[in-house]
Amino acid sequence: MAPVRTIAVIIAMEAEAAPLVEHLKLVKARESPLPGPIPALVFSGDVHGAKVHVVTNGKSAAFGVDCVGTVPASLTAYGICLALKPDILVNAGTAGGFKAMGGAIGDVYLASAFKNHDRRIPIPGFDTYAIGAVDAFPTPALRAAMGFKDGVVSTGNSLDAPEVDLASLKANDASVKEMEAAGIAHTAELFGVPFVAVKAITDIVDGDQPTADEFMENLGAAAKALQGAVPKVIEFVAGKELSAL
């Protein structure tokens, strides 16, 4: 296997990405290299001998907010795989954790697998397709070196967690709840691009505070946690063969 020379990091929200972009001294592309009308923003630079691209989904022209959820994430990942041809794709972002699974605000997780918790199709064959379980690219050396928590990342298109989703999250054995990773995993699998995810916890799904309030309260701190975690991942990955990860 050839060494990792191009690393793409996909992050949904600009507020999540900004501290990392500044820390890595990346430069925003004047014109997006991604194909079509995808509103993604691309920030690039050389880091630890590798070409690193941090890509956000961009903002919705119709609504003026960050494009979040599985559809924008999948489209952005598709554009990244086509145009930037990364050796490895990393999804970094904020997420919900579970006190029942030992999660706490500020924890950083390196995903072990990706599943969906809000796609329910109770027809044989389609039921497992809906969950869409995909294992993260195996990185035993990276996991040992980073010391992050380990767990299943479960994806849905809603910030809240009604009872029906909580049942699915429990069935998924989820340690992390978020809104992008399973969609990105689907795209990465299509292209055969190794995919890992690093998630910082902003809110506790099975806690006492309203999710939206807790998320906004801890977004800045979680973004800074990613600023500390993701460069370590990049440094470890850059220049190594995939089999050494």
Catalytic residue numbers read 16, 203
CB atoms under 10 Å from CB of 28, counted, come to 11
Are the CB atoms for 80 and 184 separated by under 8 Å? Answer: no
Query: Which of 56, 60, 72, 74 minimizes the C-alpha distance to 16?
Result: 56
Query: Which of 6, 188, 158 minimizes the C-alpha distance to 84?
Result: 6
Pair type for strands 50-56 and 6-11: parallel
Are the CB atoms for 187 and 82 separated by under 8 Å? Answer: no
Joined together, the tokens standing for residue 204 give: 């506790």
Angle between helices 70-83 and 181-191 (to 10 degrees): 30
Helices (H), the chain: 14-24, 70-83, 126-131, 140-146, 163-171, 181-191, 211-237
Query: Which of 142, 150, 113, 104 minimizes the C-alpha distance to 230?
Result: 142
Pair type for strands 88-97 and 195-204: parallel
Joined together, the tokens standing for residue 192 give: 């055969």
Joined together, the tokens standing for residue 52 give: 């690193």
Residues in the chain: 245
